[in-house]
Structure 1
Amino acid sequence: MRAFYSDQFVLPLPPGHRFPMAKYRLLRERLGADVPDVELAAAEPASDGELALVHTPSYIQSVVQGTLSDAQQKEIGFPWTPAMVERSRRSAGATVMAARTALFGGQGVSANLAGGTHHAYADKGSGFCVFNDAAVATRLMQAEWGRVHKQPLKVAIIDLDVHQGNGTARIFERDAQVFTLSMHGARNFPFDKEASDLDIELPDGCDDAAYLEALEHALTELEARFDPGLVIYLAGADPHEGDRLGRLSLSFDGLEARDRRVFDWAWSKRIPLAFSMAGGYGRDMTDTVQVQINTYRVAYAYWRRWQNLTKDLNQEKETHP
């Protein structure tokens, strides 16, 4: 299973900054030790042209040239540096590469070790999000699919970060070919929420049973309303009970059950799935990384199913050419 990383670009954050930059390197190291069959590769950067499928040219240039206003930079939450620009390009590029691998590469499942930057709008960043990786990957896969198949590609973005995917919702609010599902804390950031195609708001303290019941209803409604050819899944670790910013109470087992349900839903319909890690702000960073490792273990099992399916199809073609 292929997974793409960009943690070699480290933002020089001031002491006490609450963004857990080190988690990306820790995840890559843990994957190499715990799930060694995951093939890790450095992500290529998203180009200006690829970013412009979603973001306004003026915003892209302001980010690249470092001419965002102090207020715009403060809303993003990072100080401007060349590393911020390159990391943001590569994070978007990693989801592009994961989506392309899952959709066109015969893999069925692929991953970005970062990403999930769902607070970025077309014309601004917010909440530690500069470019919206899921939106860029969606637009680019639709373009590439259309060139090959001469028909539209419908994409479902299943966002299970604890914070609403407000930027993603706004970007696709009038796009019938993209379904945005966000399941998030009702009283959590962003406090002024957008309208996704399906929003599931959860109370503070939501536990495993209530969360999984809500997820089941959400997937049932998604299935009734939309028939995607690609799923992009934001597998946030921040619903975990040990998260500083999450306000929910899911256990490790509950989050693993969440992941298994999403992957099973996509697999049952043979829909390729690309996933990103999204948020995770554990009081103990190793808890966040453990949640993500568990996601990769689930993902790998479903990747194996895709490989067995491909093998069976190839054998059938050889038997009945």
Structure 2
Amino acid sequence: MAVYRILSGSPGQPQGYGGGVVRRETRQTPEWSRGRGTISLVTRRLFYCDHYAIPLPPGHKFPAEKYALLRALLTADGCYDLQPAPLADPSAIELAHDAGYVRQFLNGTLDTRTMRRIGFPWSKELVRRTLASVGGTLAAAAEALATGFGGNLAGGMHHAFHAEGSGFCVFNDLAIAILALRRDGDIRRAAVIDLDVHQGDGTASIFEDDPAVLTVSIHGENNFPSRKQRSGIDIGLPDGTGDEQYLTRLREVLPAIADFRPDILFYQSGVDTLAGDRLGRLQLTHEGLMERDHAVFEFTKALEIRVVVTLGGGYADPIARTAEAHANTYRVAALVFTQPETPGGRAASLKC
């Protein structure tokens, strides 16, 4: 496995900000994840929807600006072909959501309580952005079917339930994509590993009685939502959890996903576990988050499991720290899936 270091791009530049170089130092890989196969990033396409801006009132706590910052970082890296996300068709959304709820959101007739629970004021711009966010995950899933890897620079809306939204989540793109793939006969079994600091309660609820979908959530036990749902596997962490304890718990759960033998894995890669996140309460470093990402990607690579990456939460101040952490997830993916392991434990840096 790997230990990650962030080297400053210029003298005096803070670690973990744009311009730094991600480097990897190899360690012994666990037995269960050795050498089972390789997935290559052929087209290396990612999908974005930040060109659909959401009008929000002054002081709103949703960090909408992080998405454009993330795209700018990855554009500068040159590792990926970034494509605008298509708009999802409502018929696909209704695979996971109540048709009446979908219709009322799209036409702006949801009641005030329901919109307050979602956390956004309704607007036509919000509708377009929401459809693009779902469309990005559907496109990323199609990419994963073709190449083994797909990514959406949005999505991961894991608080959306069958008939209502919550916590800045309108539609659950993870559930929609899984059910669309299954409808089309592309997969039989899927797993979701949700590493956002907040439990993936909507995803857990939608798939609670579905034996063909394994939901795994590692989250802050004392954080939102106060009323947790039952995932296939839930690991609640105490406030203040740092890199070592977090990574230990993550590695403990990966063999259970391997035993489930999913055809595809959806990775909700929220970075609100980062130390100092306004809504996080955990204490992971940038390096720890990259080790987290590496563990997930090496796992899927070794077992030849297709993987779809979505974003999730991230509320650091300044928000550039969150954008950098999201960018590092995709940098680690490029490193794992396109570069050979370096012999003798020498460090390898990301080159696109």
TM-score relative to the length of structure 2: 0.83
TM-score (norm 1): 0.91
For the residue of structure 2 that corresponds to 1:117, the secondary structure is: coil
Supply the AA of the counterpart residue of 1:64. L
| Counterpart code for 1:32 | T
Amino acid of the structure 2 residue aligned with 1:174: D
Aligned counterparts, 1:104-143, within 5 A:
105=146, 107-143=147-183
2:114 matches 1:72 = yes
Say whether the 8 Å CA contact 2:301–2:337 is kept in structure 1. no
Instruction: After TM superposition, give the deviation of residue 305 of structure 1 in Å.
Output: 6.0
Match of 1:265 among 274, 299, 311: 299
Higher relative contact order (CA 8 A, sep 6+): 2
The 5-angstrom pairing of residues 1-321 of structure 1 reads 1-34=44-77, 36-103=78-145, 105=146, 107-146=147-186, 153-224=188-259, 226-304=260-338
**CA distance in structure 1 between the partners assigned to 2:290 and 2:92 by the alignment:** 33
8 Å CA contact 2:101–2:163 kept in 1: the answer is: yes
Instruction: Tell me the distance in 2 between the aligned counterparts of 1:203 and 1:186.
Output: 6
Unmatched tracts of structure 1, length 5 or more: 147-151, 307-321
Matches of 2:55 and 2:248, distance apart in 1 = 41
Return the alpha-carbon distance in structure 1 between the equivalents of residues 212 and 183 of structure 2: 12
Tell whether the 8 Å contact from 1:242 to 1:287 is kept in structure 2 after alignment.
no
Runs of 4+ aligned structure 1 residues displaced above 6 Å come to none
Q: Distance in 1 between matches of 2:80 and 2:150?
A: 9
Contact map agreement 1:109 1:302 (CA 8 A) in 2:
no
Q: CA deviation at 1:290?
A: 1.0
- Count, aligned residues: 297
The aligned counterpart of 1:314 is: none
Where does the alignment leave 5 or more consecutive residues of structure 2 unmatched? 1-43, 341-352
Question: What is the RMSD computed on CA atoms of the aligned residues?
Answer: 1.1
- Structure with the largest fraction of helix: 1
